[in-house]
Amino acid sequence: MEQIKINSAFSDVWIKGVSFKNADIELNYGDVDAEGIVSQGIDIRSDCGDVELAGDLKGQTKVKVESGDIDIDTKAEIQDYSMTVKALSGDVTIGDKEIEEFAEEGYSYKQDSGEDSLDLEAAAGDKTVRHLEQLKTNRLDKMAAKSLTKN
């Protein structure tokens, strides 16, 4: 698929198992959930809503949310991305490291290490960037802990 373009005031967006060159998504209120995607570039802007991306994210991936969580699970290793994360409030987790150092004017993290980039900005909400293998391990650990507490 060449391009995905969505502009909506009130709706959720689900994308699953799709390869595309570019995506341009603008929402006033609603969540974006994209799983198993292969992209060459993504630009998501939302006033209020969560954004979850999982897959092979190439090129420039930009997510700007005024209020909501940003959850990115990449096929590539985290250190292979150039990355900018800006936040006014909320938790920031990159890989297995939770970052708790916020300045009064907010938080900014920068990493220059790859051709592909992640640019994430949220005024309020949690920001998480993980490698897909780490996500699978975390889910398996939670399932094992649940089964132990039931017994």
User: Stretch 116-142: mean pLDDT, rounded?
Assistant: 74
CA dihedral 46, 47, 52, 56 (to 10 degrees): 30
Per-residue pLDDT tens digits for 13-28? 999 999 999 999 999 9
**Which segments of 50-139 are extended strands (E)?**
51-67, 70-74, 82-87, 92-94, 97-99, 107-111, 117-124, 127-131
Q: How confident is the model at residue 135 (pLDDT cuts 50, 70, 90)?
A: low
End-to-end CA distance of the chain: 48
Query: Domain residues for 10?
Result: 3-150
Q: How confident is the model at residue 122 (pLDDT cuts 50, 70, 90)?
A: confident
| Mean pLDDT of the residues in the chain | 83
Selected residue with higher pLDDT from 96 and 55 = 55
Per-residue pLDDT tens digits for 90-105? 777 777 777 655 545 6
Q: How many domains does the chain have?
A: 1
